[in-house]
């Protein structure tokens, strides 16, 4: 496991976003797909940082390796920051994008356009044997539309409108989204601390 970093995800797309970054330091990347015996770590924290740390710490101990975990979600101002850490299971069933989006629209039914401000948030936690955990965050601001637009992305992307681009996150091709996303911003911050930490 020397010079390997485990990305705590089964999502290959997510892993690709980190690959180039760590390759620059001669580290190779593995994901949870490479370790099918590892069970899901329950996320019982009350913040993005707590959830990311829980995941990274548990897997780091199991594998005695450096692990990077992220927790991210959508925070809507008119809903006091909800769905937040419950973004993936907002409507009750984990990862049901359609139901989550329907619930979000229902909860914002009578909220006017100018009050539908929101942000996508990402916290990354990097954990390794004998090292202090490193945390970085990234945010992207936007608005929640009244109906979905776009065919790319996943989750709340079709409802999340970016005024700067006059597009939803789901109308941006993957490469462009990867450049401007909340995760991309967190990765940028991670870059500036990585040398020292590794």
Catalytic residues: 71
- Look at strands 117-127 and 66-76 and give their pairing: antiparallel
Q: How far is CA 78 from CA 64, 122, 188, in A?
A: 43, 20, 29
For residue 75, how far is the Cα from the chain centroid?
12
Measured from the Cβ of residue 57, the count of other Cβ atoms closer than 10 Å reads: 16
What SS3 state is found at 61?
Answer: helix
Q: Residue 160 forms beta bridges with which residues?
A: 144
Q: Is 48 exposed, middle or buried (0-12, 13-18, 19+ CB in 10 A)?
A: buried
Strands (E), 15-64: 28-31
Distance separating alpha carbons of residues 6 and 59, to the nearest angstrom: 9
């Amino acid at each position: 496991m020397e010079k390997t970093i485990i990305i705590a995800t089964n999502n290959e797309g997510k892993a690709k976003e980190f690959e180039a970054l760590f390759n620059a330091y001669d580290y190779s990347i593995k994901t949870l797909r490479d370790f099918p015996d590892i069970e899901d770590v329950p996320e019982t924290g009350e913040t993005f940082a707590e959830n990311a740390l829980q995941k990274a710490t548990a897997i780091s101990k199991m594998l005695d390796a450096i692990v990077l975990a992220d927790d991210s979600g959508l925070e809507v101002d008119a809903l006091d920051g909800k769905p937040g850490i419950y973004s993936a299971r907002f409507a009750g069933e984990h990862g049901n994008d359609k139901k989550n989006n329907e619930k979000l629209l229902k909860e914002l039914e009578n909220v006017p356009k100018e009050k539908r401000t929101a942000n996508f948030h990402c916290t990354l936690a990097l954990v390794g044997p004998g090292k202090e955990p490193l945390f970085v965050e990234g945010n992207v601001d936007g608005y929640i539309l009244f109906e979905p637009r776009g065919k790319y992305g996943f989750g709340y992307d079709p409802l999340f409108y970016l005024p700067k681009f006059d597009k939803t996150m789901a109308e941006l091709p993957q490469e462009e989204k990867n450049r401007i996303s909340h995760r991309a911003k967190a990765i940028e911050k991670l870059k500036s601390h990585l040398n020292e930490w590794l």
